[in-house]
Amino acid sequence: MIKTWCQILHKLPGSRLLLMANSLRDPKIRSLLVDRFASHGITQERLLLRNGAPRDQYYATYAEVDIVLDPFPRTGGTTTAEALWMGVPVVTLAGQRYVERISASKLTAVGLEDLIADCEEHYIEKALSLAHDPIRRAELRTGLRNGMAKSSLCNGEDLARAMESAYKIMWARYLSEKGLLTIHSG
């Protein structure tokens, strides 16, 4: 992931990467991270390393961000939803397992399937394309929250119905396996 992010940074020489986590309070972790980026030719000046922050400050940070580069193989969950809510597009690399597809499901729900990559090369291409498209980024900044609010991500009633249906199916399957339910087709 760091190697891929460095490739993006090399192709966008004026850009910087913001990393924010409580673990960055530890000088050893900060140093390790700086060294890993340096091993790929990215200097510390290109990295904005910040400790975690209270929620209001954390949300305010999105005003400084143009694009979220989703980590991989473990993709974002809440952080992806928060970025989208704050109008910041997320580029993700979707893998095969659930933890590799969390962001992809959120991007699909808000109609941003074009920001889902299937390999590292496409991840880089999608990030660069978005970086070079300030008009699209501005449109997303102003419209993404409304789009998300109207999406299935924020439709609690449909989610509840889908969950109820899934539980009924699971319960019926369980009863059938125990011989407590016989399903007759009509």
User: Which pLDDT score is estimated for 176?
Assistant: 86
User: Which pLDDT score is estimated for 162?
Assistant: 87
User: Which H, E and C letters describe 77-125, residue by residue?
Assistant: CHHHHHHHHCCCCEEEECCCCHHHCHHHHHHHHCCCHHHEECCHHHHHH
Listed residue (19, 15, 53) closest to 33, CA to CA: 19
Query: Which residues make Cβ contacts (< 8 Å) with residue 81, sequence separation at least 6?
Result: 106, 148, 153
Query: One-letter amino acid identity for 72?
Result: F
Residue-wise pLDDT for 47-102, tens only, equals: 999 999 999 999 999 999 999 999 999 999 999 999 999 999 999 999 999 999 99
User: Which pLDDT score is estimated for 156?
Assistant: 85
Burial of 115-150, coded b for 16+ CB within 10 Å and e otherwise, reads bbbeeeeebbebbbebbeeeeebeebbeebeebbee
To which residue do tokens 């009509």 refer? 186
CB count in 10 Å sphere of residue 3: 11
Residue-wise pLDDT for 101-141, tens only, equals: 999 999 999 999 999 999 999 999 999 999 999 999 999 99
User: Which pLDDT score is estimated for 182?
Assistant: 62
Query: One-letter amino acid identity for 182?
Result: T
Residue-wise pLDDT for 126-181, tens only, equals: 999 999 999 999 999 999 999 999 998 888 898 899 899 999 999 988 988 888 86
Question: pLDDT above 90 covers what percent of the chain?
Answer: 85
Confidence class for position 185, pLDDT limits 50, 70, 90:
low
pTM: 0.85
